[in-house]
Structure 1
Amino acid sequence: MEITNEKLVEAAYKGILSRGPDPVGQANWATRLEKDGLETVLAGLIGSDEFFRRYLHRQVQAGGMDAAAKISGWLVHYQIGRVLHPPRLKMVQEVVPAGKKVLDLGGASAKPEGAFLEMGYPHAEDLTIIDLPLDVRMKPGPDISSEFQHNGTTVRYSYHSMADLSYYEDNSFDLVWSGQTFEHITEEEGAALFPQVKRVLKPGGVFALDTPNRTLTRLTVGDNMLIHAEHKIEYPYEDFIERFSNCGMELIDAKGILNMPETHRLGYGVLGDLEDADVNDSPETSYCFYVAYKKLL
């Protein structure tokens, strides 16, 4: 018996969607099969909303609420990067204290000026960006050996671990900034970094950072994973505050970025929490938190 394109489409429908095709769908997919091949048809059906709904339903039937919670958490995880960016821009532009001479810990980006200026920080007149040498960095970045000017800011790079500030003199910087980088060093390195930051800050200078809140991240990817392959540790907000309460600097500000109250309450990722992403006053229940410490006079 000859296997026609129509028969192949019908078999694909039944195998993937558990139903036969409607006449219009069968004709359309038979044409696609003739033009683009069977793999395209299979990929199209698997990528359809109908397959997703049926797959989700089967997973929930098999695993109940545990399966539903896990799937929901991963759906939230894959949306987070897009949702976090606008409130982080607002934080950098409006919340991070003004500093003329800035040390950025791990702030290289695809653009030579680095992530901090790219995100719109308006105050820096002199910016030193620390990042790893290119041969040990996971992602490519600029290899810049001399300082340059960017929109009135003097920018220079220093290639070494952000956990080692021995290259810098005492009382050198108005602001030390760690934008989503503190989680890239170990727990031990983080504890050793605070005294170094205090040393290089001028009296009255500020150490500001934002980092993922483990209380929330674990609800999207589970207890056995971190949200990024390069992360060494992710701190719960309350734990972070307690760990560094005796750092010799005064905590002057704490904010949340992307408050997720339903995710926190229910114990799994809730897509509805992504609809109102902003800087907020609830760091305990936010996906990321921002803190700022001031070196006393």
Structure 2
Amino acid sequence: MGRAAVALGLSPAVDEEHYVRMAYLVLLRRQIDPSGLRAWRDIIATGRFTHQGVINTILQSEEYLSSFGIDLLGIQHRSRVKWIQTLPCFDRILDIGGSSPNRPEGALIELGYPHRPSRLDILDRPPDLQYWGKPKYDQSVSAQFDWGTVSYFHGSGEKVAEIPALQEREYDCVFLGQAIEHIYPESLPGMLGWARTHLAPEGRLIFDTPNRLLTKIQCPGSFIDPDHKYEYAPAELERVVADAGFIVTRKVGMVHLPVQAASGHYDPREFAEASLLSDDVDACYLFALEASAR
């Protein structure tokens, strides 16, 4: 599953148990049952609680799907898989934020990237702090596959220039899958500038992210994920990319929601019939840009 999670405007600025109670009321439209509350109290007590974990658990539950029949997270995931399958073949890739908790190949390949690089470097937070949880494999050593090598580097994406082992490396692609929204906007230009100087000739910067033109309809007073630092409209992010020395060569929208885009009213039922990919980028819940250095 990708990072495009649906928080539905629930405020993280409350205690954990209150957040769980609100989530049940908003998503399942009922009070939480005693057994469910006990289970969440156990999770809170053991330090495994996350706001996004509550949302993901409810949206993927049999109760939610049988009652409302809309797998919001699954629809977003499928759209990202379909987009990633259209990406070009690159031999040397840096994936910023691309760790997978389950597969040492990383999130890009887990999501269905159809090609295999000879070198895939993955920069993510230290294992105990990674977004999707601590990985179930050792990231301190490179993983060898018959197609190439996957190496992990730990640190924040906005401080990529401070990671010594990456400074002499050149890439055919710098990829950020649902990661830019987790970077403070004042730090993004510097990170993009570093990427530009470390791309090979004809190299590409590729990323996808939520579309604020749509997420602000859903969550006008907050971002859709408490960990998001900023959510961009397509034209806004294009300007940031251009200012960092790139030319956008391709735009793709994912999860086309033209009714919501036109009306300004959030309706989760439209997700069920949404086209997974669309050229109508401004009316899509997610969007992707591909850019080359000027």
Please report the TM-score for the alignment, with normalisation by the length of structure 1: 0.70
Does structure 1 retain, via aligned residues, the 8 Å contact 2:75–2:271?
Answer: no
Q: 1:259 aligns with which of 251, 256, 271?
A: 256
C-alpha distance 276-146 of structure 1, shift in aligned 2 (>3 A): same
C-alpha distance 91-45 of structure 1, shift in aligned 2 (>3 A): closer
Deviations 1:34-58 (A, max 9, x none): xxxxxxxxxx9958xxxxxxxxxxx
Q: 2:157 aligns with which of 162, 169, 173?
A: 162
Does the alignment pair 1:109 with 2:106?
Answer: no
TM-superposed deviation, 1:153: 2.8
Deviations 1:91-130 (A, max 9, x none): 1111x23211000000011222111011121322210011
SS of aligned partner of 1:141: coil
Q: Which amino acid aligns with 1:192?
A: G
C-alpha distance 164-148 of structure 1, shift in aligned 2 (>3 A): same
TM-superposed deviation, 1:138: 4.5
Aligned-partner Cα distance in 2 for 1:137–1:148: 18
Aligned-partner Cα distance in 1 for 2:229–2:272: 25
Deviations 1:252-290 (A, max 9, x none): 101100111000111122212431331110111110110
**RMSD over aligned Cα atoms:** 2.3
Q: Which amino acid aligns with 1:153?
A: G
TM-superposed deviation, 1:141: 2.7
Which residue of 2 is the match for residue 195 of structure 1? 193
Superposed, 1:201-280 pairs within 5 Å as 201-221=199-219, 223-270=220-267, 271-280=269-278
- Aligned-pair identity in percent equals 28
Higher gyration radius (CA): 1
Q: How many residues align?
A: 223
Aligned-partner Cα distance in 1 for 2:169–2:126: 26
Superposed, 1:104-183 pairs within 5 Å as 104-110=95-101, 111-123=103-115, 124-142=117-135, 143-166=138-161, 167=163, 168-169=166-167, 172-183=170-181
Aligned-partner Cα distance in 1 for 2:159–2:272: 36
C-alpha distance 46-159 of structure 1, shift in aligned 2 (>3 A): closer
Aligned-partner Cα distance in 2 for 1:237–1:112: 32
Deviations 1:225-271 (A, max 9, x none): 11112111100112111233232122110110011100011112221
Unaligned runs of 5+ in 2: 1-27, 32-66
Runs of 4+ in 1 over 3 A off after TM superposition: 44-47, 135-139
Which residue of 2 is the match for residue 89 of structure 1? 81
Unaligned runs of 5+ in 1: 1-43, 48-74
SS of aligned partner of 2:85: helix
Does structure 2 retain, via aligned residues, the 8 Å contact 1:92–1:120?
Answer: yes
SS of aligned partner of 2:242: coil
Please report the TM-score for the alignment, with normalisation by the length of structure 2: 0.70
TM-superposed deviation, 1:203: 1.3
TM-superposed deviation, 1:170: 5.3
Does the alignment pair 1:98 with 2:89?
Answer: yes
Q: Which amino acid aligns with 2:95?
A: D
Aligned-partner Cα distance in 2 for 1:46–1:125: 51
Which residue of 2 is the match for residue 13 of structure 1? none
Does structure 1 retain, via aligned residues, the 8 Å contact 2:120–2:149?
Answer: yes
C-alpha distance 126-262 of structure 1, shift in aligned 2 (>3 A): same
Aligned-partner Cα distance in 2 for 1:281–1:46: 39
Aligned-partner Cα distance in 2 for 1:172–1:227: 34
Aligned-partner Cα distance in 2 for 1:236–1:81: 20
